[in-house]
Each structure stands twice: as C-alpha cells, then as structure tokens.
Amino acid sequence: MRALAIPVLSVLVAGVGAVRMPHRSAAASYGSASRTSEASSSPPALGHPSSLLLNDESATFTSGNFPGHAVRIRKNTGWCDPDVKSWTGYIDINEGTKHLFFYFFESRRSPSCDPLLMWVDGGPGCSGALGLFMELGPCGVDEHGTGTLPRKDSWNEQANVIFLDQPVGAGYSYAEGGEGVDTTEEAARDVAAFVGMFMETFEEYSGREFHMAGKSYAGRYLPVFASEIVDQNKRAAAKGRQEINLKSIMIGNGITDFFAMLPSRYDIPCTGASVPPILDISQCVRMKEALPRCVQMTKASCVDVFNELGCKAAKLFCDSELEAPLVASGRNIYDISKECEGTRELLGADGKVKDFELCSNHVWKGFNRQMDVYAPGPYYVAGLLERGVSVLNYAGTYDWTCNWIGNMQWVETLDWYGKEAYNSQTPRQWLVDGERAGITKSWKGLTYATLEGAGHLAPHDKPVQALAMVNRWLEQRAL
C-alpha cells in the first residue's frame, strides 16, 4: 500500500524554498552546560531554545540523560507562519548513526499552556512535509507553487505541533553506514528516542500533555510508537527521568488492521456506501467472487500463522483482484516532487540527503519485504486503552484504500475491556457550525468518527471540520 499523492505535490517542496531569510555565518555549538557563539562566550543557563537562539541561528545540544544522542536545531521563525516561533532540525540517535528531521511550530493560542502534538505521515516512507504543507500545517503552497501562504485552519491553532520525517530514509531523515529500518517495531524505538530527546531540548514541554497523530500507514505506526513510549516510561521513572505524558493517539484513514480492510475494498467502489458505484457490474462481480478466496488466503498465511511465501501469494492475488480494477479506473493519481534552490539552507537540512523524496521507494520496499502491514495492530491499540491512553480513529468517507467501513469494523471487533459497552452505543451525527460533519461513536477512551465528503487526506478536504474534531479531542470534549 502506498500513500496517495496528487499533482500539486510536485510544487510542495518548492514552496518551502521560496521563503528566504538572512544567513548567519556559523552555527553555535552547545554542550550539556556550555555555549559558544559570535556574540558571547559566556555559558547561559540551559532552557528553552527560544531563549538561546536568534532567528536563523543553528545550534547543537547534547544531554547526559541520553548518551550517544544529540540535537541539531535551527530557529527560523516566520518562514511558514509569521505569527509563531518555529524550528527545524535533527535529533541524532543511536550513537549518531540515525538522524531524524523535524519541523516544529508553537501554538498560535498559548504555547506555554497548549498541548504538544506530533504528526507522522504514512507510506511507509513519506515525509511529515506532506501533512505540513498539504493538510494541517501552519502554511500551504501558494497557487503559483513558488511560495507559502499561512493556513487558517492549521492544527497549531490550539496545539504546539511537530512534523516528523520517519523512519530514517523518509524526507530529510537519513542514516549512516547502511543503517536502515524496515519494520514498525524498529521505527518505534527510534521515535521514542526522538520524543525523549525533544522533551530534553525543548524542556518547557516536558510533562505537557502529548498526543500522536498521523494518517494512512500511521494506523500501523502510531499504536506501536505509543506502546513503546508507554513501556519506556517505566524505565524512565526507574531512572528518575521525566515520563512522557502521553494522552492519546489520533489515527486518520489508517491501515491498523489490514485483514479487516479487505472486504470493504469491494464495498466502496461497488456499493453506495460512500458514492454511487464507480466500477462496472462485471468488474464488481469478479471482485465479489474473488473476495472469499482473498480473505481465506490472507487469514491462513498472514494472520493465523505467518507463512512468508503464502502471505506474499495472498497479497499478489488480493492486489490483482481487489485493487487493480480501481487503479485502472484512473481514480488514484501519483506524482513526483521536486526541490528548489534554498530549501536546505532555510531548513538546515543535511547535505547528506542527496535527493529529497516526498515518499521514499526505498523505505516502502523494505517494509513491504518484511510484510510489516500484516502485523497485529489492534493488539497494540487494546494495550494502550487498557493503560489509559485514548484512541481516536477517524476516516474520510471518500477514501478507498483505508476506508471508513474497514476502520469501523476493526474498531467494533477490537478485544478490550470496553468492547461490549462500545458496541452497545448508537452512532450519532456530529456537527460543526450546526451542519453535519459525519457520524461518531464513543465509549471511555475509544472514539470512531467519519468526515463526510473527505478522502484520504481528510484535513485537506475538510479543514474546518477536521480542526473542530481535533480541538474537541484535545480538550477532551465529545465530538
């Protein structure tokens, strides 16, 4: 499964490079208790980087709590959202062999009080820049594709937001000496290290309510990433370190349970579940006939017992019978992004990343070889709910690949302490400005919702409704 792309993405990175700022000559260097710079050689008290860096200045931080890790950040306030402070940079982990790139924007409302939210994109292998510029970030690409414009309905209206390029190999993130990641469980260890180092560096966010969000393959990522943080919190507490105050995960049009998604790949194009049927009757008949075999093969070789050869055979059969007809209809569009002069300098991206890719084929192929998508994602979700981490699972009704029916079904079959109570609830409509935005169902920490009329990139298609949903969720209000 690949994340969907649309033609305007070809100018996405170009829009970043169009906003230029003065360049300071040398990056300052920071240790755990010292700083040197052009302006002063006196070591200031450590604190939030906003108190240490001037605009367009870079620095490196290290921490005794995370040996072998470092943080390289660049303060570049104003390039995307002129009204908030922002940073870009790397967190170097695993003895400096892996380097995760991030964008960070403070909240427009109250940076000192609002929660912290981290966004990851899917793929696997897509840059967080996709969500930043196309869906929910503080700015989008202008109509000419040569600059950026502030986005009114950005998710940093009431939250401090990180956009992360992960795993290594995605976006501006990279690895040394052949290091790589090809399973979600491996990526989770890197992301947990990233979050810990981020909290050390931007220390005013340490202990703040923390939420993790993403779309598409993030339905596989987020439950595992959050579980790794929950487990690492135990070790942090034992060592006297601040625990990460993880409150929730928010999965948008996710692929949390691939097996549950299979039958709905017939429902979306062949019934009136979202829109009038879009495939010919003969095509739908063939899909319907193939569906039981697809389900049986997948269950036998990918779910009940993992058999690599059998699982690959099941995937090939299911793709050819359930996916190929819709792809052939021209409904899915792919495109290639390009880079503009000045982007790296502005963001402080490392020159070791030779060619920026919005979605990395190399990363995707690695995860695909490992059959990572078939891992039991719902088990992690249940574990999070049992430990008090809330879960929002939402889906645009016009998406096919990670559609609302499949997402509704895996939530209803999820084995957790609230299963019976959740399924006894009656779905209801939820409103934004008095108008229907979708349907929702909730009990305790688990909420399911649809965004009617939205596709795979739901915040792009329905920005007002998506922001209302997120703000209510962050404030722990019912949708």
Contacts of 366 (CB under 8 A, 6+ apart): 169, 180, 181, 182
Per-residue confidence band for 2, with pLDDT thresholds at 50, 70 and 90: very low
Q: Is 99 a catalytic residue?
A: no
Q: Catalytic one among 58, 127, 173, 216? A: 216
Per-residue confidence band for 350, with pLDDT thresholds at 50, 70 and 90: low
| Cα end-to-end distance, the chain, whole Å | 30
Q: What percent of the chain has pLDDT over 90?
A: 59
Higher pLDDT, 110 or 78: 110
* Mean pLDDT of all residues in 402-425: 97
Q: How many whole angstroms from its chain centre is CA 350?
A: 22
Instruction: Report strand pairing: 390-396 vs 446-451.
Output: parallel
* Mean pLDDT of all residues in 218-240: 93
Using the structure block, give the residue that is written with the tokens 């929660």: 115
Higher pLDDT, 351 or 263: 263
Give the per-residue pLDDT at 331. Answer: 59
Domain at 7-27+64-262+372-474: CATH code: 3.40.50.1820
Q: What is the pLDDT of residues 297-309, one digit of tens each?
A: 999 999 898 899 9
Give the per-residue pLDDT at 30. Answer: 31
Q: Phi, psi at residue 287, to the nearest 5°?
A: -60, -45
* Mean pLDDT of all residues in 398-408: 93
Instruction: Report strand pairing: 210-216 vs 246-254.
Output: parallel
Using the structure block, give the residue that is written with the tokens 């200031």: 44
Give the per-residue pLDDT at 346. Answer: 55
* Mean pLDDT of all residues in 333-360: 52
Q: What is the pLDDT of residues 23-63, one digit of tens each?
A: 222 333 333 333 333 333 333 334 555 556 777 778 888 77
CA distances from 185 to 121, 375, 409 (A): 16, 10, 24
- Tokens describing residue 405: 């029916």
Q: Of 63-72, 119-128, 132-141, give the lowest mean pLDDT range.
A: 63-72
Give the per-residue pLDDT at 456. Answer: 92
| pLDDT at 218 > cutoff 60 | yes
| pLDDT at 472 > cutoff 80 | yes
Nearest-angstrom CA–CA distance, 337 and 11: 6
Give the per-residue pLDDT at 49. Answer: 55
Q: Catalytic one among 99, 399, 442, 460? A: 399
Q: What percent of the chain has pLDDT over 70?
A: 83
Alpha helices in 239-355 (DSSP H): 258-261, 264-270, 281-298, 308-318, 324-328, 343-347
* Mean pLDDT of all residues in 98-107: 95
Q: Is 360 a catalytic residue?
A: no
Q: Of 129-133, 199-203, 230-234, 442-446, give the lowest mean pLDDT range.
A: 199-203
Alpha helices in 244-280 (DSSP H): 258-261, 264-270
Q: Of 179-188, 234-243, 416-425, give the lowest mean pLDDT range.
A: 234-243
Nearest-angstrom CA–CA distance, 316 and 312: 6
> Looking at the chain, how many residues does it have?
479
Nearest to 137 by CA among 102, 90, 189, 178: 102
Q: Where are the beta strands (DSSP E) in 143-228?
A: 148-150, 160-164, 174-175, 210-216
Q: Of 19-33, 410-424, 434-448, give the lowest mean pLDDT range.
A: 19-33
Nearest-angstrom CA–CA distance, 183 and 162: 22
Q: Is 144 a catalytic residue?
A: no
Structural domain boundaries of the chain?
A: 7-27+64-262+372-474, 279-329
| pLDDT at 434 > cutoff 70 | yes
